[in-house]
Structure 1
Amino acid sequence: MKRWFGKSLKRKLSLFLLFAILLPLLLTGGISYKIASSITEDKAKQSGMNTLRQIAGKLEFIIQDVETMSLFIIGQRDIQAYLDDDKEDVLRFMTNVGFLTNLAFSKKYISNITITNDSGRPPLSNTTVLRSGLPDVLKQNEETYRSSVKWWSPLYENQTTDGLKKVFSLVRPVRSYNNFKPLGTISISVDEEEIARYLAEAGWEESGFVLLLDSRDEILSSGQPQWLNRPVADIFPDIGSMEGDSGILNYGGKEQKTILYYTIPGLGWKLVGFIPTQIYTKQNGYVLMVTASAVGLGLILAAGLALYFLQWVTRPLTRLTQNMKDINPDEPIPHFEVRSTDEVGLLLRSYNKLSDRIQRLKEQVQKNEAMKKEADIQALQAQINPHFLYNTLSSIHWIALMNKDRQIAEMVGALSDFLRFSLNKGEEFCPVQQEVAHAQNYAYIQSIRFPEQFHIEFYIDPAMLPIPMLKLLLQPLIENSVIHGIQKKQSKGYVYVHGELSGAARMKFIVEDTGIGIDPGKLREVRRNLTMEEARTPAVQPRGGYGLRNVHQRLLLHYGPEAGLTIESEPGKGTIISFTIPIAGEPI
């Protein structure tokens, strides 16, 4: 897979763009989902809290209505007269009972109204209470309710002619409005069943519920009868502390729930609403589906646009690649049409410029090859008329042998070998061994011509002998040492020819003489002549000699700029000429 992607810029860019688009879209979608989920949850909690406030408003109305009703009843003349009269008045009793019945009947949430008097006469009540749980509650909380102007009781049961009623009551003392002496006690009981109906019909979540807790956090009203009058912590362990007037808790029991609570002012009662978290998850699932759809659609559109853009950008590069793949090295490189001024257009313009440059370099290489051939031809022409002279010398060699003139025969044989190597069937290269032999033949001929004037020694690494090299390089350098260095010296001179391996890839040759040397001014001129532009054109070389410039130019043409001659000299001590060529022996 990695190799498949590596072969195509378009594939790599496509993958990169898809990742560059996919990751931000997924990140944006995830963040949007989290924000939407948080907003959904916050809205549900806010809605729940508003619902609790509405329920609390209804309960406050009921509580206030009951308290106002108690004051209204206490202030009734007939009620005051019945409680303050020492005699029993049946007519007044029946009138008051009828009044209480009518008053209680107008309020659905009123279970019963009971007024007891301290004189022991029968209590006034709108219903017949067969058994009341209020005395027991009052006895348990006597100290609390007697010290209060009004007191709301916990939940208890009344057995009446209408059945068993679970109620909680407002209890307050009745005093004479003439002299404020205690006359009795009034209790107005609120039907828990009616309060539970209010809680159930308050618009709370269908799968949730609302509890009414008293100041002791005991359940005062609930849709579950078995929970009534029990501490809420018994039903929901680890519910936590509900501090403050309102707040939100997270409950992690068997079914995770969000708990909202709101305190009813003045009583310390709390409305506690429970919302299952699955409500959020369902809503979040819908949000997730919408977000995923939006992200998917955005990804498809972005991927389509990205692929179209990539196709538009890479089309010129693809055509350029195809053209370069089909290029024939022997033909000129075709130009590519440029239609844009962007980076791709600049690349194509550079490609066209490179094509022109390559074409010029090809022409230069062809010209250099022609110059090589011409230089080699001049090197051969610089020798003495090879074929004719070689044949003549062969005849002289045999005549000298027949006349038993050994020195003449050896000299003519050396000259014959010298000329045979010069011809060499037109080949440009020869083994190092053959080049050294050619130089030795030349040195032998010169030693006979100029006896006792010089002595030459060859020090060649045997490992170099079979390696090919450009021919006719050493002989001109030896000739230069003998003619310009040794012959101008009064005493006998020496010439040393060294050949050694320079590293693993190059050969180095050194021709050293003990001649008169070259003074600094002349040496600078010789070096300058080697690099002069006209020296690079073999046609202008002197036809009378091979010359250092010819050797230098042939080295540059065949082996490159690192293979030129290096000349070092000191007047009166001699001259050292060296060059280094690649072991491969092939032209560059």
Structure 2
Amino acid sequence: MKRRSLSGQVFFYFSIVIVLSLASVGIVSYVQSSRALDHQVEQYMDQMIDNAAYQTDIYLQTYELLSNSFSSNSDVRAFFEIGKEDVYEYYYYSDQIRTFASKSVQSIITLYKQLNAIYVVGQQGRSVIYDNQNFLSLDASLLPEKYDFLMKSAPDNNKIVLLNTSIRPEDQGTVVTMVRKVRGASYDRNRGLVAIEFKLQELAKIWDRVNIGKDGYFFIMDDNGNSIYHPPNFQPDEAMFKEISTHISDSENKVFTTKYQGENRMFVARKSDYSNWRLVVSMPLDELRKPISTIRTVTLVVGLVTLILALLLASRFGRSIVAPIRELKESMRETEKGNWKHLDENGRTDELGGLIHSYNLMVTRLSEMIDKVYAAELEQQKGALQIQEAELERHRAEFQTLQLQINPHFLYNTLETINCYAIVQDSHEITEMVEAMAFMLRYSIQTNLEEITIANELNHVRNYLIILQHRIDREFEIDVIIPPSLLLEKMVRLTLQPIIENSFQHAFPNGIEAHHTISIDAHKGDGLFKVIVEDNGVGIAPDRLRQLQEQLMLNRLAEEETQSGYYRRGGIGLMNVHRRIQMVFGEQYGLSVESELGKGSRFILTMPDKPNKRSI
């Protein structure tokens, strides 16, 4: 997984916080503003249509008053009681009605200037018609048809009803007729009707004062869903009126949205309690929600500008934090390489300034401490070298001392024997002894701790036996049972011959007999290489053996003489061999002795299987 830089993380998380904050504020603000504006629009349209309905009801109530005056007029009631063929009564009462109509209308002509016609029709077929200026005579065949329609449409309780019809065909669709049934003079039953026609164009002026926008319109429907009025630029079809009717109840206002002619529109409808008309206002949703769109656009623009500025500030803020940290990181890398680099604090007093100050203080103290450690280490190494040099000199002196402690009696006796031979006779034995002696001396005087092979040590033992045979005037052979594969194994110089000499001196104190034997063996195992010298001599007494083993364990040179005399005669040689091996291979190696009185002794030289010579 790819690791993101600290500045990237700061910028990323700042971006998330900023985007979430702006998005939350923007969305919540937009949603709440949209809801508030929608509610305000609905309230505005509801108030607007309530006002229009109120003005319309007042307008209609004015005509109702006029209708009441005609319905309660005694001449009108008497007109409904005349016979169908009674010409005189018709003329008299129609004249009275005309006079009453002229006086009623002319007195309030400014109020009723949108009046289209007033007509009184009886069930006997007699009628009086006034068109706001003149009294008309219409085709008698039209009256029965209109009369039947109007009588069926008007309620029997003498309440008014508003109809989208006209007594004259040319006025159809441009006027509204207010109809009421009227009882006759005897009040027994309804004998006729009074109808007042008024122009919708004049009524529409009330609704035109309502601000419904450029693409809004206002229309009126009756109880049956038929159009009573609609503006000229709006031509609703029956499907439209049917859909609107399905959304409007009889007892409440209704706000709904639907799609009409490919445009989403809001409809607000109200049923007039007076006229039972349904007044409907329609406006496009886009126009209604234009403020919301403006809010959305402004919110988006302001949000984007704010986001860009916030991201720029976040990026700058991230760099201001990360830059000192990066510089501190690079300085730490240099510090790892041993380059003590101090950072410029630039007068910072914040947490990063404190961190840089602490880093500079740490670098200063580390530099001082490391200098002190280096100086102490140099002094310590210098002292250690001096101690090692002194120890090396001591070991060299000790080693040389060990070599110089070889028992000189053998050399003196040998020289004396050679001298005797030289005086008594001229013999080849002298030559043989001299050559063997020369080899031994040459081999012995080498004072370094160079590792040599078993074969070299065996050759040194052979030269020793040559000289010994001439001294004792008797041949003696040592049994060498070392496997040939081990003859080239490494061991320490001058360790095998002193043990052989010790055996001749102490194992056979009464002289060498034919049954006496000395054997040399070697083997490997458990990471050790062992050379074993074994004889069948008199052995070592337990007390003497214990003293010898203790001396070997203490790693002490046998410099002092003891009452036993054992060390005077052989202990020095054994301790020299033991010490030689330890000085070459380590303290865990050396010489060990096993012996049983009367049965012989066993000397074991223990060395590592794969020797790693010490540096001396």
Could you say which TM-score interval applies, normalised by the shorter chain?
A: 0.5 to 0.7
| Kept in 2: contact 1:115–1:123 (CA 8 A) | yes
Does residue 320 in structure 1 map to residue 328 in structure 2? yes
- Equivalent residue, structure 1, for 2:553: 483
Tell me how far apart the structure 2 counterparts of residues 78 and 286 of structure 1 sit (CA, whole Å). Answer: 65
Does residue 257 in structure 1 map to residue 257 in structure 2? no
Does residue 75 in structure 1 map to residue 84 in structure 2? no
- Equivalent residue, structure 1, for 2:211: 203
Q: Which runs of 5+ in 1 are unaligned?
A: 420-436, 462-479, 496-508, 516-588
TM-aligned CA deviation for residue 249 of structure 1? 0.8
Tell me how far apart the structure 1 counterparts of residues 232 and 357 of structure 2 sit (CA, whole Å). Answer: 86
Does residue 416 in structure 1 map to residue 424 in structure 2? no
TM-aligned CA deviation for residue 229 of structure 1? 9.3
- Equivalent residue, structure 2, for 1:347: 355
Out of 172, 180, 184, the residue aligned to residue 172 of structure 1 is: 180
Greater mean alpha carbon deviation, residues 370-379 or residues 289-298: 370-379
Greater mean alpha carbon deviation, residues 47-56 or residues 303-312: 303-312
Q: Which protein shows a greater Rg?
A: 2
For residues 380-399 of structure 1, what are the structure 2 equivalents within 5 Å?
Answer: 380-384=389-393
| C-alpha distance 96-141 of structure 1, shift in aligned 2 (>3 A) | closer
Greater mean alpha carbon deviation, residues 324-333 or residues 399-408: 399-408
Does residue 276 in structure 1 map to residue 284 in structure 2? yes
| Kept in 2: contact 1:334–1:355 (CA 8 A) | yes
- Once the two structures are superposed, residues 296-320 of structure 1 have per-residue CA deviations (whole angstroms, 9 ceiling, x without a partner) of 4433543454455445544543553
Out of 247, 252, 265, the residue aligned to residue 245 of structure 1 is: 252
| C-alpha distance 396-368 of structure 1, shift in aligned 2 (>3 A) | same
TM-aligned CA deviation for residue 212 of structure 1? 0.9
For residues 123-522 of structure 1, what are the structure 2 equivalents within 5 Å?
Answer: 123-126=128-131, 128=136, 130=138, 139=148, 145-159=154-168, 163-164=171-172, 166-175=174-183, 182-224=190-232, 227=235, 230=238, 232-234=240-242, 236=243, 240-242=247-249, 244-253=251-260, 254-310=262-318, 312-314=320-322, 316-321=324-329, 323-324=331-332, 329=337, 332-334=340-342, 337=345, 339=347, 342-356=350-364, 358-359=366-367, 360-361=369-370, 363-364=372-373, 367-368=376-377, 370-372=379-381, 374-384=383-393, 403=436, 415-417=448-450, 441=492, 459=526, 483-484=553-554
Percent identity reads 16
| C-alpha distance 286-396 of structure 1, shift in aligned 2 (>3 A) | same
TM-aligned CA deviation for residue 258 of structure 1? 1.4
| Kept in 1: contact 2:220–2:280 (CA 8 A) | yes
Provide the secondary structure at the position in 2 that maps to 1:416: coil
TM-aligned CA deviation for residue 52 of structure 1? 0.8
| C-alpha distance 483-47 of structure 1, shift in aligned 2 (>3 A) | same
Provide the secondary structure at the position in 1 that maps to 2:126: coil
Provide the secondary structure at the position in 1 that maps to 2:276: coil
TM-score (norm. length: structure 2): 0.58
Greater mean alpha carbon deviation, residues 283-292 or residues 319-328: 319-328
Tell me how far apart the structure 2 counterparts of residues 510 and 50 of structure 1 sit (CA, whole Å). Answer: 116
- Equivalent residue, structure 2, for 1:61: 58
Provide the secondary structure at the position in 2 that maps to 1:256: strand
Q: Which amino acid aligns with 2:449?
A: S
- Once the two structures are superposed, residues 509-557 of structure 1 have per-residue CA deviations (whole angstroms, 9 ceiling, x without a partner) of 9969999xxxxxxxxxxxxxxxxxxxxxxxxxxxxxxxxxxxxxxxxxx
| Kept in 1: contact 2:120–2:127 (CA 8 A) | no
TM-aligned CA deviation for residue 357 of structure 1? 5.3
| C-alpha distance 186-93 of structure 1, shift in aligned 2 (>3 A) | closer
Q: Which amino acid aligns with 1:95?
A: T
TM-aligned CA deviation for residue 25 of structure 1? 1.8
- Equivalent residue, structure 2, for 1:34: 31
Out of 112, 117, 121, the residue aligned to residue 117 of structure 2 is: 112
Out of 99, 117, 120, the residue aligned to residue 95 of structure 1 is: 99
- Equivalent residue, structure 1, for 2:43: 46
Tell me how far apart the structure 1 counterparts of residues 59 and 81 of structure 2 sit (CA, whole Å). Answer: 30
For residues 547-566 of structure 1, what are the structure 2 equivalents within 5 Å?
Answer: none
| C-alpha distance 118-20 of structure 1, shift in aligned 2 (>3 A) | closer
Tell me how far apart the structure 2 counterparts of residues 351 and 447 of structure 1 sit (CA, whole Å). Answer: 69
TM-aligned CA deviation for residue 278 of structure 1? 1.8
Tell me how far apart the structure 2 counterparts of residues 248 and 209 of structure 1 sit (CA, whole Å). Answer: 15
| C-alpha distance 231-407 of structure 1, shift in aligned 2 (>3 A) | same
Tell me how far apart the structure 2 counterparts of residues 46 and 71 of structure 1 sit (CA, whole Å). Answer: 36
Out of 106, 121, 126, the residue aligned to residue 121 of structure 1 is: 126
| C-alpha distance 138-273 of structure 1, shift in aligned 2 (>3 A) | farther
Provide the secondary structure at the position in 2 that maps to 1:383: helix
Provide the secondary structure at the position in 2 that maps to 1:223: coil
Greater mean alpha carbon deviation, residues 247-256 or residues 182-191: 182-191
| C-alpha distance 12-115 of structure 1, shift in aligned 2 (>3 A) | same
Provide the secondary structure at the position in 2 that maps to 1:334: coil
Tell me how far apart the structure 1 counterparts of residues 436 and 165 of structure 2 sit (CA, whole Å). Answer: 162
Corresponding residue pairs, total: 455
TM-aligned CA deviation for residue 273 of structure 1? 1.6
Tell me how far apart the structure 2 counterparts of residues 125 and 510 of structure 1 sit (CA, whole Å). Answer: 152
| Kept in 2: contact 1:172–1:185 (CA 8 A) | yes
| C-alpha distance 266-106 of structure 1, shift in aligned 2 (>3 A) | closer
Tell me how far apart the structure 1 counterparts of residues 56 and 301 of structure 2 sit (CA, whole Å). Answer: 46
| Kept in 1: contact 2:151–2:193 (CA 8 A) | no
Tell me how far apart the structure 2 counterparts of residues 350 and 80 of structure 1 sit (CA, whole Å). Answer: 115
Tell me how far apart the structure 2 counterparts of residues 369 and 73 of structure 1 sit (CA, whole Å). Answer: 136
- Once the two structures are superposed, residues 72-106 of structure 1 have per-residue CA deviations (whole angstroms, 9 ceiling, x without a partner) of 22234554455556723164254245346536774
TM-score (norm. length: structure 1): 0.61
For residues 526-545 of structure 1, what are the structure 2 equivalents within 5 Å?
Answer: none
Greater mean alpha carbon deviation, residues 403-412 or residues 280-289: 403-412
Tell me how far apart the structure 1 counterparts of residues 301 and 222 of structure 2 sit (CA, whole Å). Answer: 49
Provide the secondary structure at the position in 2 that maps to 1:114: strand
